[in-house]
Amino acid sequence: MSTTTQRPVTSIDDAGDPRLDADVAVDVGHLGEVLLGHYPELRLAARKLMADERFHRIEGQSVPEHRERVLGQLRLLAVEGDVHRSFPSRFGGFDDHGGFLARFEELTHADPSLQIKSGVQWGLFASAIYHLGTERNHDEFLADALSIKVPGAFAMTETGHGSDVAAIGTTATYDVATQEFVIHTPFRAAWKDYLGNAGQHGTAAVVFARLVTQGVDHGVHAIYVPIRDEATMEFLPGVGGEDDGLKGGLNGIDNGRLWFDHVRVPRTNLLNRYGDVTPEGVYESPIDSPGRRFFTMLGTLVQGRVSLDGAAVVASRLGLTIAVTYGNQRRQFASSSPTEEVVLLDYAEHQRRLLPLLAETYAAGFAHEDLLAAFDDVFSGRNDTPETREDLETLAAALKPTSTWHALNTLQVSREACGGAGFLAENRITGLRADLDVYATFEGDNTVLLQLVGKRLLADYSKTFKHLDAVKVARLVAERAADAARYRTPLRRATQTIADVGDPRRSAGQLRETTTQRELLVDRVETMVAEIAQALRPAQKASPQEAAALFNAHQHELVEAAKAHAELVQWESFTAALERVTDPSTRQILTWVRDLFGLSLIERHLTWYLLNGRLSAGRARTVTSYIDRLLTRLRPHAQSLVDAFGYEQVHLRAPIASGAEAGRQDEARAYYKAQRASGDAPVPEKHHR
């Protein structure tokens, strides 16, 4: 990969005066080590394996060819890919849950279809057997799932119910006479849909269905159900389905639909860790509450959201590495010199397009490492309590939407920043954008997940009132209302304006302070949650219909508060990560990147800060002007910041990021230079008189 020559960078000292930082540079090696996070050896080993062309996507393959290639790659991974890492040692694993996901995320740069198909087989199908089953299920089903002797589907989603798993229609009714469960889809909307491995390759499925015994519906449980004959690959009696066909992306995966017409399976096929049925038909569970039981079962499968968060970060890094590298080599328009065209990344607008996205990608990466650590803490058993599981689920539900939407935006902007070259399939950005599209809606629709986060924020807010008497509650509410009113008064804004007048450097100095950024971001979250809580208070005494209508009326505000919370989490993770950077020069540059992220968030929500009196108009203008200064500071380091992601050309596989563009530009410049030197250059018409 070609890098640009390090240039001096203009920065602003504490007094606000320009100075020249000739020695400020990124230690790419050190920063790369920081970015590898908690599992550097495992990530590097996975990247080394993914450098093998056997795992690379071949652009332009037909859907059948692509599917067969990915299936073959999956079988290679079963042998060479350390895919059993999160499973018990007796199945060849290490009980290393975080390390498993760290390796798994690195498959993205080989082919997202491979990453997702691996996730279906080991992260969903096999993991459901492991986490939802007991030893009897493990002994019978797990080894074949891990070896891919049995390719499997994870049959949760239905055509009529995606995110609302509790309302699925498929039933598993226990027959005492035969000691079997009867699996049935009673109507078309109950067909299992969008299932990886269901369209062609799967021979079994973990089917989620409503467990009914002795006339009682005990809610959603998981059951192991064979679906195809392993020899003929035909559906077994009572099982039917169809291929989902061509999709907008991820066409290396055979997504399909399944239906069941009174299919019988043994009682022991029930994955019975959280609920079981005796031979006599008596239901038993270690968790009495049906609601808590349901959410505990689903919580064991949170790793899907964690892995998608990490994969989205990988895709964003790939897109930006390609776009920034190309932008550092491609030249267009001779605006400042009659003989030299300008490098794209020297244009202020090009910097505005890419560098804030780069800052957000850094933030998303650091937040993902914190999520990965929390996931491993819970699933390793080191810190596994109902509270930590709830925290983990909330964190995953906040970060997965934020990073997947960010990846889609980043890839689109990166594509446009590369012009027509970015639209060519060989340069990969369009393919990544298509494959990542569905990340926004699977493993939980992003908007629905943010509603869950919003509800958790409201629940936490309500705890501040839990042990207060009525008088204290009234006083606290009044104080909050007074605080909001104080911020909205012209006097508050005037105070800021007076403090800043004639000295924009003072305003900029405050904005770059860590404490100021934190206060602004935290205050927005807390204020939004408090206002929603106040608006929803009447629901406590309303009828169910009135309460639902009131909640629906404030749904958008709830989602926006959850987004603000996720942004704050990313900023906090970035700020904490700065302490892990030991090289002073690198830490300084990375602090500018953090500031760019924080101030970009404030600029994004500037209307809120102005309307709520948190910023004066003068200080609000300073936000944008200081962002422009940060872009100028960071421009010379852009290449180093993407090089620190650690991708070689064998991982990027994008000709425009290979140095070829720099070669073309050098050839063109040498040609015109020689032409001018020889005197053979034609005279422009406007100079010919």
Q: What CATH fold (topology level) applies to the domain 9-14+303-433+446-643?
A: Butyryl-CoA Dehydrogenase, subunit A; domain 3 (1.20.140)
Catalytic choice (443, 479, 560, 685): 443
Q: What is the pLDDT of residue 215?
A: 96
pLDDT at 566 over 80: yes
Q: What is the pLDDT of residue 41?
A: 96
CA dihedral 669, 672, 676, 679 (to 10 degrees): 150
pLDDT-above-90 percentage for the chain: 76
Q: What is the pLDDT of residue 234?
A: 97
| Token representation of residue 10 | 């203009």
DSSP letter at 613 equals: T
pLDDT at 553 over 80: yes
DSSP assignment string, 188-253 = GGGSEEEETTTTTT-SEEEEEEEEEETTEEEEEEEEEEE-B-TTT-PBPTTEEEEE----SS-TTS
pLDDT, tens digit (0-9, with 9 covering 90-100), for 124-182: 999 999 999 999 999 999 999 999 999 999 999 999 998 889 999 999 999 999 999 99
CA dihedral 534, 536, 538, 544 (to 10 degrees): -170
pLDDT, tens digit (0-9, with 9 covering 90-100), for 385-435: 989 999 999 999 999 999 999 999 999 999 999 999 999 999 999 999 999
676 vs 660: CA distance, rounded Å: 25
pLDDT, tens digit (0-9, with 9 covering 90-100), for 168-214: 999 999 999 999 999 999 999 999 999 999 999 999 999 999 999 99
Q: What is the pLDDT of residue 501?
A: 42
DSSP assignment string, 90-154 = GGT--S-HHHHHHHHHGGGGT-HHHHHHHIIIIIIIIHHHHHHS-HHHIIIIIHHHHHTSS-EEE
Domain 34-147: which CATH class?
mainly alpha
The more confident residue out of 10 and 540 is 540
Q: What is the pLDDT of residue 497?
A: 42
The more confident residue out of 492 and 323 is 323
pLDDT at 471 over 80: no
* Helix axis angle, 348-379 to 617-634, nearest 10°: 90
Q: What is the pLDDT of residue 17?
A: 37
Q: What is the pLDDT of residue 20?
A: 42
Q: What is the pLDDT of residue 670?
A: 87
Give the residue-averaged pLDDT of 678-684.
83
Q: What is the pLDDT of residue 334?
A: 77
pLDDT at 576 over 90: yes
| Token representation of residue 264 | 């019988």
CA dihedral 311, 315, 321, 327 (to 10 degrees): -160
Q: What is the pLDDT of residue 565?
A: 96
Give the residue-averaged pLDDT of 53-58.
95
pLDDT at 487 over 90: no
pLDDT at 21 over 60: no
pLDDT at 5 over 50: no
pLDDT at 36 over 90: yes
- What element of type H or E holds 260? strand 256-260
Give yes or no for a contact between 40 and 371, defined as CB atoms under 8 angstroms apart.
Answer: no
Name the CATH superfamily housing domain 156-289: Butyryl-CoA Dehydrogenase, subunit A, domain 2 (2.40.110.10)
Give the residue-averaged pLDDT of 623-647.
96
Give yes or no for a contact between 19 and 11, defined as CB atoms under 8 angstroms apart.
Answer: yes
pLDDT at 470 over 90: no
485 vs 521: CA distance, rounded Å: 19
pLDDT at 281 over 60: yes
Query: pTM for the full model?
Result: 0.91
15 vs 35: CA distance, rounded Å: 32
675 vs 447: CA distance, rounded Å: 59
Q: What is the pLDDT of residue 495?
A: 39
pLDDT, tens digit (0-9, with 9 covering 90-100), for 233-244: 999 999 999 999
pLDDT band at 337 (very low <50, low <70, confident <90, very high): confident
Q: What is the pLDDT of residue 513?
A: 92
Q: What is the pLDDT of residue 468?
A: 57
The long-range contacts involving 580-585, CB below 8 angstroms and separated by at least 24 positions, are: 580/34, 581/30, 581/31, 581/34, 582/30, 583/27, 583/30, 583/31, 585/23, 585/24, 585/25, 585/26, 585/27
For 271-294, what is the HEC assignment?
Answer: CCCCCEECCCCCEECCCCCHHHHH
pLDDT band at 341 (very low <50, low <70, confident <90, very high): confident
- Ranges 356-370, 654-668, 671-685, most confident: 356-370
Q: What is the pLDDT of residue 81?
A: 84
pLDDT at 448 over 60: yes
Best CA proximity match to 257, nearest among 173, 310, 316, 197: 197
For the chain, what are the domain ranges?
Answer: 9-14+303-433+446-643, 34-147, 156-289
177 vs 45: CA distance, rounded Å: 53
pLDDT at 118 over 60: yes
Q: Each residue of 473-491: b (16+ CB within 10 Å) or e?
A: eeeeeeebeeeeeebeeee
Give the residue-averaged pLDDT of 57-85.
94
3-state helix, strand, coil in the chain (%, to 5): 60, 10, 30
Catalytic residue list contains 443: yes
Mean pLDDT of the chain: 90
pLDDT at 611 over 60: yes
